[in-house]
Structure 1
Amino acid sequence: MPHKFNAARRHKFEKTRYRITNWSDYNESLRLRGDITVWLSPEVEAAWRAERRRTRGGQPVYSDLAITVCLTLGMVYKQPLRQTEGFVRSLVKLMGLDIRVLNYSTFSRRGTGLTLSMKSRAEQDGPIHLVVDSTGLKIFGEGEWFQNKHKTKAKRKSWRKLHLGLDLVSGDIVCSDLTKDDVGDPTALPDLLHQVDADVTRFIADGAYDGDPTSSLLTARFGVGVEIIIPPPKTAVLSSDADGNPTLRDQRIAAIHLGGRMAWQVSSGYNQRSRGETQMGRWKIVIGPKLKARSFPNQKTETKIGTHILNKMTGLGRAKFEVVA
């Protein structure tokens, strides 16, 4: 990894200290994340039942909003589907809402292919500074403790790959996707960019996205003015036309050869990619490192709901920092 190039001399670098400038507001937003009225309000009652459709077939009883609300509550409080049904039933009773709570089997059946509307950024000011990263979510396999205690042979654990796109300006996750473990990061990038409905002026990603296909895709999608910040490998060489017509990758390689990789990270803003890694850690703490759904379509719905949960928490309030030393 690029940040380890000077690991032997990192003790000489003075660590920057920060101070939160809006502590009272940020502290209150942390309290609101545990407020149950954030997740279920009386306005849900009007849209709880599904609208009657005019096509053939059985009529749905519950709307997609009802399914989303119940699945969201189950993910926030980390409950299985049966316990989620009981939780929503008691919550509806306490709030005095005149609605019928759906069965846990309906959660699983309607969760397949559930369409979730992403919040549009069309009316927001300013372009997006996009940071893309991926991580693994487990779906099968015993843990290390089980293997060490019972001296069992380690099985090949099954997992999915979660791809997230974070906007550095707003702090929201603007695109997300779940793929199988054999799908590479550059392969999943087109579907991620298709979800972005605003201009992207800066794109930051790790070395897995290095290559002409990624640069060509970003240029075709957002124009030649997009700033692409992807570190080339240490064995990268200049192209044959680097002297007369250098590419963006040639410019990055030349800058690293001239001032070093650490200096390039600071000057280019590549160090802000750490916020994408922080978002992955936040996902695994708040949502969890493991998927509960068994089928792949339901797993994709689960990750979409997890994205909405994190964006909802971000909308309650964010910490603002300033450098003090």
Structure 2
Amino acid sequence: PNTSTSVGIDIVVDSTGLKVFGNGEWHARKHGANKRRTWRKLHLAVDANTHQIIGAELSTISVADSEVLGDLLRPLRRKISSVKADGAYDTRGCYAEVAAKKADAVIPPRCNAQLWEDGHARNSAVILTKHIGSSEWKKCGNYHQCSLAETAMYRYKQLMGDKLVSRGFNQQHTEAMIKVKVLNRMAGLGMPEYQGNS
């Protein structure tokens, strides 16, 4: 795949839940006991052009998506053109992380969004969504590319499973990162192409 970074890459970010499948799960299946399930969150940053996962993090379910954006972006050494994410990332911290990468943030403002200080990058999104509506704003900003992150998560769960089998958090993190590398290797071999019926 073409990984030229002279123009900058467009990144889409999202997260998904993964079940932790441990002894408690086996016990619940065997004896019918009702046990509270443990979950982890897998956060992904996907190159919108190549569909490669270029950043991944695992967190506990209590960590907000917006808290992890910096961990996904900071290690990247590529030139970034834009970062697209859903409204969960509409925070000052997320805008600061994107600005630190000299990229444009394409994040829909919350429905009750107010303007921030003069000159802030988010203000134009707030004004535009109030004037032309959220749907039109999303079209103008190519926000539809966010579905690529959802597609990457779907591929992850279909090919690697939606469970983590390791017991400790560090091992679960390693397990998830290995699965991401395998998924990228598979995507590097070639993405499926849609062939419609003629």
Q: Calculate the TM-score normalised by the size of structure 2.
A: 0.86
Which of residues 13, 18, 27 in structure 2 aligns to 1:132?
13
For 1:1-325, list aligned pairs within 5 A: 124-126=3-5, 127-140=8-21, 154-220=34-100, 222-223=101-102, 226-239=103-116, 241=117, 245-320=118-193
Q: Which amino acid aligns with 2:132?
A: G
1:238, CA displacement in angstroms? 2.4
Percent of pairs with identical residues:
35
Distance 2:41 2:17 in 1: 5
**Is the contact made by 2:12 and 2:47 (CA closer than 8 Å) also made in structure 1?**
yes
**Is this contact kept in 2: 1:178–1:300, CA < 8 A?**
yes
Cα distance between partner residues in 1 of 2:195 and 2:141 = 20
What secondary structure sits across from 1:138 in the alignment?
A: strand
Question: For 1:232 and 1:162, how far apart are their aligned partners in 2?
Answer: 23
Whether the 8 Å contact between 1:164 and 1:176 is mirrored in structure 2 is: yes
Could you tell me whether the CA contact under 8 Å between 2:56 and 2:72 is conserved in 1? yes
Tell me how far 1:320 sits from its aligned partner.
4.8
What whole-Å deviation, never above 9, does each CA across 1:68-98 have from its counterpart, x for those lacking one? xxxxxxxxxxxxxxxxxxxxxxxxxxxxxxx
Counterpart Cα distance in 2 of 1:197 and 1:323: 38
- How far apart are 1:321 and its partner, in Å? 6.0
Q: Distance in 1 between matches of 2:193 and 2:48?
A: 13
For residues 109 and 71 of structure 2, the distance between their equivalents in structure 1, rounded to whole angstroms, comes to: 23
CA contact (8 A) 2:66 2:91 kept: no
Q: Which amino acid aligns with 1:237?
A: Q
Q: Deviations over 1:245-281 (max 9, x none)?
A: 3422211111111111111111111111011111111
Cα 1:125/1:136, change in 2 over 3 Å:
same
**CA contact 2:113–2:126 (8 Å) conserved in 1:** yes
* In 2: Cα distance, 1:228 partner to 1:278 partner: 21
- Code of the aligned partner of 1:311: N
Q: How far apart are residue 169 of structure 1 and its match?
A: 1.4
Distance 1:136 1:229 in 2: 23
SS in 2 for 1:280: helix
TM normalised by structure 1 equals 0.54
Structure whose CA Rg is larger = 1
CA RMSD of aligned residues (A): 2.5
| CA separation of 1:169 and 1:322: change in aligned 2, threshold 3 A | farther
Q: Gapped runs of 5+ residues in structure 1?
A: 1-122
Q: Matches of 2:88 and 2:196 in 1, distance apart?
A: 31
Contact kept in structure 2, 1:174 and 1:195, CA below 8 Å:
no
Distance in 1, matches of 2:82 and 2:66, equals: 17
Distance 2:96 2:127 in 1: 20
The answer on whether the counterparts of 2:164 and 2:172 sit within 8 Å (CA) in structure 1 is yes
Query: How much does 1:319 deviate?
Result: 3.7
More strand as a share of residues = 2
Shift in Å, 1:156: 2.5
Alpha-carbon distance between aligned partners in 2 of 1:282 and 1:204, rounded to the nearest angstrom: 19
AA aligned opposite 2:185: K
Equivalent-residue separation in structure 2 for 1:199 and 1:218 (angstroms): 12
Unaligned runs of 5+ in 2: none
- C-alpha distance in 1, partners of 2:158/2:194? 22
